[in-house]
Each structure stands twice: as structure tokens, then as C-alpha cells.
Structure 1
Amino acid sequence: MKKKRLIYDEWTGITSKRYTQLNIDNEVFKGIAAMLYIDKVSKPYIWNFNGKEIIACDSGMKWLQMLPDDGTYVITAMINMKNEIELWYIDMIASHGVDEDNIVYFYDLYLDLIVYPNGTIKVDDMDELVDAFEQNIITKELYELALKTSDRLQNGILKDMCQLEKLSLNCINELEKNMKDIIFSEKLPSAKDYNKL
């Protein structure tokens, strides 16, 4: 399994970024919310959906990340320069924790869900999950955990886009309201530094 951090070190195309992180405990969300401010990229990262180009990563965008205390997933809302959510990207995860520099990390379970604003859901990287199980990289329990988490999301919060939007807006508001109390770093570890962790 790959260890990933909420500052997304593996996205080497992001050449300048800032990051905020906060524990939230309210009636809408209990867990960790973070915002990655993408100040500069070497080139935009564009996905194609039904013939339409969707920009997932570009200079001036923000990524809101939500990791619930009781969940085995991370939701990332990719927000464009007009403060509109382009899409939600959901990673199924095995576990999560906090590194020595206080940045949250998680162990990726390969399977992902891509959710578009019109409610369309795309299951992504199922082949990687199957391969990891067949090659004994992950256990049967972790394989089933990824599938169950995906099913629970698709039959739960993802059935109601208003609920997903409300969750995202709540976390954005909490991050902005508590800006003075949270981590804020202009100089983040590079991908090279990340490989040493």
C-alpha cells in the first residue's frame, strides 16, 4: 500500500503550494479537514468526462480534503478559481495517522470513486485493488474493506448531492473561520523530502 499525505507530495507537477489543517467536531462533520492551496503547477492536469474537459489541478485551484473520524475514506473536493467544485475524488483507505510534522497521512487502498457535480459516480482503479489482492499485497480483509466502504458511500452520502455539498461547505467555512488556529505553511516538504519519510 502507498502512504499518502494530505499535502499530496506525490503530485510533483504542483511546484508551489500552501496548506491548512483542522480538527472539526460539529453536527455536520467530525474529523480532519484540510485545504491545499495550489499556487503554481508545471502544467494543468485535465480529465475528460463524456467529452467535456474537467480541470483537476491548475494554478489557483484549491483541494478541500475531509477525513472523518469513523470513516475509511478521504474525500477531496477539487475547487476551481471561481470557487466552484469541479469534482469530488474519494480514496478508500486502510488507516490514517499524523506524521512528526503534524501532517495527516493515510494508507491508500487503491479503489477510488470520482463524483461529478451532476451526481454521476465513476468507480476507478478497481483493477489495481484486484491486482493488489491477487499478489498478496493486501489481505482479504482489506480487499473487502475497500469494497464495503465504496458500497456504503454510494448507498449513503453520494445518493444525495445536497448532503455532499453541505458537508463540503461546512468544512470550508470551519477552515476559514479558524484560520488563525491551524497549521499554515508556505514552505512544505518536496517530493524528494517525502521519499525520505
Structure 2
Amino acid sequence: MKRKRSDRLDWKRVPVRKYYQEEVRDGNHPGIVHYFYMKEIKTPLMDAFFSQPTPVADQGFLYIQYFPFGEQHTVTTMFSDSGEIVQQYIDIVHSHGQDPDGVPWYLDLYLDIVMLPTGEYRLVDEDELQEAWQQKMVTSEQVKMAYDEAKRLIKNLSSRQKDWITWAKTCYKTWEKVESRLLSHQIEV
């Protein structure tokens, strides 16, 4: 499995970024919410999962990544520099938590679901999951766990997506309130 952190320090394409996180204990969305703002970017990123390539990382973009307590997935809502949702990316994970410095991490099970705001979605990276299994980086049980979680999410995707979009827009308003008070973090590239 790949261990990933939500501050994306390994992402050299974003030399200047801001991030913020909060724990949410409301009844509908308990978990950790991590905000990752791309203040400067060296190389924009496009996803080609659908008929039209989708810009997913560029200057001024904001990722709001939700780590729901007790679940085996994270949901990243990607906002453009104009505040429009460009896509949502669901990472199927073995587990997630927080490092001693408070930054959320997750053990990625490779399998992902990508959704457009229109509701169109794709199950992606099955090849990465199979390759990880062949290289004994994940077990057969973990492969089954990944597919079971993906099937469970896809079954109710249309109703979940509406809820996630509504909630992500609320989180975006939180970001607008705290962003000006945050320092930019610059990484070496």
C-alpha cells in the first residue's frame, strides 16, 4: 500500500501552498477536513478519465479532502480558481489517521472513483491495484476490501454525491473565512 499525506509535500508541482484542517463532529459528516490551496504551481495537471480532459491542479485551485471517521475512503473535492467544482476523487483506503504533527494520512488501496459534477463517474486504477497484488504489496483480502468498498459507494453514488457537493460548498465557505489568516508554505523543488 502507498502511505499518503494530505499536505502533499511530495508534490513538487506546487512550490507554494496553504493548508488548513479541522475536525468536524457534526452528525452528518464526522471526520477530518483538510484544505490544500495551490498558491503557485509549476505544472498544471489534467485528468483524462472522461471524453474531455479535466483540469484538476492549477494556480488558485483548492482541494478539500474529507476523511470520514470509521470509513475506508476519503473524498477530495477539487475547486477551480473561480470556486467551481471540477471533480470529486474518492480514494479507497485501508485506513486513515493523523500523524503526530496533525496532518491526515491514508493507506491507499489504489482503487479510486472519479466523479464529475454532472454525476458521471469512473472506477479507475484497477490496473494499479492488480499490479500491487501481483507484487505482494497488498493481500487478496485487501483487494476484496477495495472492491467491496467501491461497490458499496457506487451503489448509492448519486445521493451521496449531492450530499458531498453540498457539504463541500459549505466547507469552501469556511476556507474563504480562514484563508487570509494562513501563512504560505514554500517547499523546495
Same fold (TM over 0.5): yes
Q: Percent identity?
A: 27
CA distance in 2, matches of 1:50, 1:139: 30
Match of 1:93 in 2: 93
Name the Cα RMSD after superposition.
2.2
CA distance in 2, matches of 1:150, 1:49: 17
CA distance in 2, matches of 1:125, 1:116: 17
| Matching residue's letter, 1:108 | D
Q: How does 1:20-169 map to 2 (within 5 A)?
A: 20-48=20-48, 50-156=50-156, 158-160=157-159, 161-169=161-169
Task: Evaluate the alpha carbon distance shift between residue 75 and residue 191 of structure 1 in structure 2; reply closer, same or farther with a 3 A threshold.
Answer: farther
Question: Do the aligned partners of 1:64 and 1:76 also contact (CA within 8 Å) in 2?
Answer: yes
Count of matched residue positions in the alignment of Structure 1 and Structure 2: 187
| Matching residue's letter, 1:85 | I
- Shift of residue 187, structure 1, vs aligned partner: 2.6
| Matching residue's letter, 1:125 | D
Q: How does 1:162-177 map to 2 (within 5 A)?
A: 162-174=162-174
CA distance in 2, matches of 1:5, 1:185: 19
| Matching residue's letter, 1:150 | A
Q: Say whether 1:187 aligns with 2:185.
A: yes
CA distance in 1, matches of 2:151, 2:43: 34
| Matching residue's letter, 1:159 | S
CA distance in 1, matches of 2:23, 2:62: 19
Unaligned residue ranges in structure 2 (runs of 5+): none
**3-state DSSP of counterpart to 1:64:** strand
**3-state DSSP of counterpart to 2:15:** strand
> Deviation digits for residues 57-90 of structure 1, max 9, x if unmatched?
0001100100100211111111001111000011
Task: Evaluate the alpha carbon distance shift between residue 50 and residue 147 of structure 1 in structure 2; reply closer, same or farther with a 3 A threshold.
Answer: closer
CA distance in 1, matches of 2:188, 2:148: 32
Unaligned residue ranges in structure 1 (runs of 5+): 193-197
CA distance in 1, matches of 2:53, 2:132: 30
Q: Say whether 1:19 aligns with 2:41.
A: no
Of 44-53 and 127-136, the range deviating more from structure 2: 44-53
**3-state DSSP of counterpart to 2:100:** coil
TM-score by length of 2: 0.89
- Shift of residue 174, structure 1, vs aligned partner: 4.9
TM-score by length of 1: 0.86
> Deviation digits for residues 86-139 of structure 1, max 9, x if unmatched?
000111111112222211111111111110111111111101111212222111
> Deviation digits for residues 135-156 of structure 1, max 9, x if unmatched?
2211122111111111111112
Task: Evaluate the alpha carbon distance shift between residue 141 and residue 170 of structure 1 in structure 2; reply closer, same or farther with a 3 A threshold.
Answer: farther
CA distance in 2, matches of 1:66, 1:92: 12
